[in-house]
Amino acid sequence: MSKDPIKLTISLGFAGVLTLMGLISFISLSQMTVITEQMADLLTETNAKISAASTMRNSIRLRGDTLNKMYLTDDYLKRDELRLEISEHALQYKIARDILFTFRMSSREAKLLDQLIQQTRVAKSFNDDAADNLLSDKPPQEIKEDLRLANTARHDMLAGLDKLVLLQEEISQSAIKDSEEYQKTVSDIILFLSLAAFFIALYIAQLVIRETSRKNSEIHFQATHDELTKLVNRKEFSHRLKSAFDTAKNSRESHALCFLDLDKFKTVNDTCGHKAGDELLIQLTRTIKNHIRSHDTLARIGGDEFGLLLEGCSLDKAVEISEGIVSLIKSHKFKWQNRIFHVGVSIGLVMINRDTENIEKALTQADTACYAAKDMGRNQVQIHGLNEELAKNTHKELAWVSEIDNDQVENRFSLYLQKIETTQAHSKKSIYEVLLRMHDDEGALISPENYIPAAERFNLMKDVDAWVIRNALQQLSNYYKHNPNNDIQLFINISANSLSNHSFTEFVIQQIKINNISPNSICLEISEKNAIKNIDQTTNVITELRKHNVKFSLDNFGRSMSSFSYLKNLNVSYLKIDGNIVKNMSHSTTDKAMIAAINQIGKVMNIETVASHVEDAFTFNQLKEMGIDFAQGFYLDKPKPITAQIESLRQSLNLDTKKH
């Protein structure tokens, strides 16, 4: 496994600094101890040698003085006593000399000692002869001669001892000098190691500061930019839009806000897959950025939707830039696997100036103008205010969502349930997904794709979510009244509008209490796209409701590998694998490997996996062998009205009860 080179460098650097500091401490303590011991030994040895030499010198002098006293006295008895003193001084001399011999000697010291021994023998002979003659009857003239010779020999011995003492001092000074030089060398080594440790630590500190700064910039960039296109995201775009609105209010400066919605982008996604769609978005982003001005802001605010803020821009210039974008994208050829695709873009434009009421209204106007551009044939620019009739029609088409609480509109809605089957024999969970259906005036079902995006766009889907949760929990509560011991769990989808609604968590908790059901009975399902787009809000909602034991599922998981990086921050109980991956797994080893990877991640994180869009037995058996926990699809169960599904479940339970 490869490691981050920066982290590795920092780790090695710190290890190096610690090693150097340890080495410095070891050298300082050990070598200083050695030097101290050596100096102590040297001092002891030198003092002992000098002391022995001093004793020898004193013995020589005392022997000479005693011999002189013998000569000066005429009392033979006194001379005999003094003769014994001379022998004692000679003995002291010998003892001191023997002590001197016990120490290590250099060649120069040994040579001087040899000379001193010879001189000692000569002097002893002269001293003994002179002392003995003083006790005899020899003539005075001979005795004087003997005394002179003895005196000369003593001077020679003293001179030799002086040389030995001087040599000792010289050797001591030399040893001290060597010790000082050695100590200086050790100090230089310690200084070098200290400087090395300092510069390594300084380098590491700079590296850490630089890396921290880079990481902070990276985190800030990730928080304010879209991961795929590297454009600013919806949150950052709103921030810049507010700043532009403030400048427009405080001055006569005007700005242009554009909504861009790609046409035929879904064709590329459905035909060639999301990888092709991602590449197309990157190419188109690059094309648009090369066309707009350097200080303009292009943002990705949805899957194939973009926002464009042209600051300090007149209407004519904004139209020129927008029409240029339409022309560039219309002429763009997207090549993928030997196929060529052409896409387009519809742009809604609104000016922001001192007359603009607020940002929300400007966004709505730009969005409405974008819808108008699509309705008028796509691949064109529509300016808000230039086609009021079309804008009114667009609002009229979406008016039903704003009246979601009316009985007449509620009668258009109905709830369906689809069974989520377990693949494990030991599991006894009864899990269903709650599906919302809408009916037109003739009673025919309307596809959710035709009304949910519009409701989300105008922040009205939260009311639809509230209706679904309220009615689903009422049905569940009625079911538990007749079947209190049965374990059933409902998966309920929630939109991005609900995630950003501050009162949503309180509403869910309130409905659980009103209907007197266990929080474990519901699992709120969030699409991967909405979870990542609103990661902070999603995390807050999950964290708050998990405190009350409400479970969560991440829907359409696996559309983008980037979702894995966010998963560790989302406390979910289920991963519902994207249906397109499941449908393709039979003939795509890549999709099969993707499912295996998701399953492995789920096992590691203790998250159960659900495979959606299971449409045949072969796919179901493959999922079962891979260890996927649950499966959902038309092969296993088709959606049925919630009342019919609950009645079917109740009858099944009654049959099981009769059997037992």
Mean of the pLDDT values across residues 549-557?
93
For residues 558 and 612, the answer to whether their CB atoms sit within 8 Å is: no
* Residue 271: C-alpha distances to residues 38, 105, 264, 341 (Å): 88, 100, 11, 10
354 has a pLDDT exceeding 90:
no
245 and 332 share one domain: yes
In a domain, 56, yes or no: yes
Query: What local confidence, expressed as pLDDT, does residue 620 receive?
Result: 93
Domain match, 350 and 455 both: no
Position 277 in a domain = yes
645 shares a domain with 501 = yes
**Closest by CA position to 571, among listed 558, 559, 553, 557:** 553
Whether 220 is in a domain gets the answer no
Residues 75 and 176 in one domain: yes
| Domain final position from 162, 181, 203 | 203
**Contact by Cβ (8 Å): 154, 63:** yes
Asked whether residue 372 falls in the same domain as residue 439, the answer is no
Is 304 in the same domain as 424? Answer: no
Judge whether residue 31 has pLDDT over 70.
no
Distance of alpha carbon 628 from alpha carbon 339, whole angstroms: 36
Rounded-to-integer distance, Cα 253 and Cα 352, Å: 9
113 within 8 A of 103, measured Cβ to Cβ: no
**Annotation marks residue 296 as catalytic:** no
158 and 264 share one domain: no
Tokens read off for 427: 């599991």
Domain identity same for 65 and 187: yes
For residue 26, is it within any domain? yes
Neighbours of 274 (CB within 10 A): 17
Angle 336-342-345 (CA atoms, 0-180°, nearest 5)?
Answer: 125
The answer to whether residues 505 and 573 belong to one domain is yes
Range of the domain at 466: 401-659
What is the CATH classification number for the domain harbouring 83? Answer: 1.20.120.1730
Phi-psi region of 489 (alpha: psi -120 to 50; beta: other; left: phi over 0): beta
Tokens of 413: 């809605």
Is-contact 345 263, C-beta < 8 A?
A: yes
C-alpha triplet 124, 125, 127: angle, nearest 5°:
60
Q: Between β-strands 430-439 and 640-641, what pairing exists: parallel, antiparallel or unpaired?
A: unpaired
Residue type, 223: A
User: Could you tell me if residue 224 is inside a domain?
Assistant: no
pLDDT digits (tens, 9 = 90+) for 558-590: 876 566 777 878 899 999 999 989 988 888 888
- The total of other beta-carbon atoms located within 10 Å of residue 456's CB is 19
Please report the beta strands in 332-475, taking only residues with DSSP state E, as ranges in sequence order: 333-336, 339-342, 344-352, 381-383, 413-422, 430-439, 445-446
Alpha-carbon radius of gyration of the chain: 51
Residue 395 has pLDDT above 80, yes or no: no
Count helices and strands in the chain by DSSP H and E runs: 23, 17
218 belongs to a structural domain: no
pLDDT score of 428: 67
CATH code of residue 271 = 3.30.70.270
Measured distance CA(458)–CA(447) in Å, rounded: 18
SS3 517: coil
Where residue 148 falls among pLDDT bands split at 50, 70, 90? confident
Tell which of 397, 425, 441 closes a domain.
397
One-character DSSP codes across 228-245 = TT--B-HHHHHHHHHHHH
pLDDT, tens digit, 9 for 90 and up, residues 375-386: 777 888 998 876
Q: Terminus-to-terminus CA distance in the chain, angstroms?
A: 56
- Please identify, among 203, 225, 251, the residue that sits at the C-terminal boundary of a domain: 203
Q: Give the pLDDT band of residue 399 (cuts 50, 70, 90).
A: very low
Pair 506, 371 in one domain: no
- Span 411-458, pLDDT tens digits: 778 899 999 999 876 666 789 999 998 876 667 777 776 677 666 755
Does residue 374 share a domain with residue 347?
yes
Torsion angle of C-alpha atoms 640, 642, 644, 648, degrees rounded to 10: 90
% of the chain beyond a pLDDT of 90: 28
β-pairing, 305-310 with 608-611? unpaired
Number of structural domains found in the chain: 3
For residues 592 and 586, what is the distance between their CA atoms, to the nearest angstrom? 7
225, part of any domain: no
Choice among 146, 156, 226, 304 that is catalytic: 304
Q: Is there a single domain that holds both residue 393 and residue 410?
A: no
Predicted pLDDT of residue 506: 94
**CA 559 to chain centroid:** 26
Which class for 338: exposed (0-12), middle (13-18), buried (19 or more C-beta within 10 A)? exposed
In tens, the pLDDT along 4-22 reads 676 677 677 667 667 767 7
In a domain, 229, yes or no: no
Residue type, 566: Y
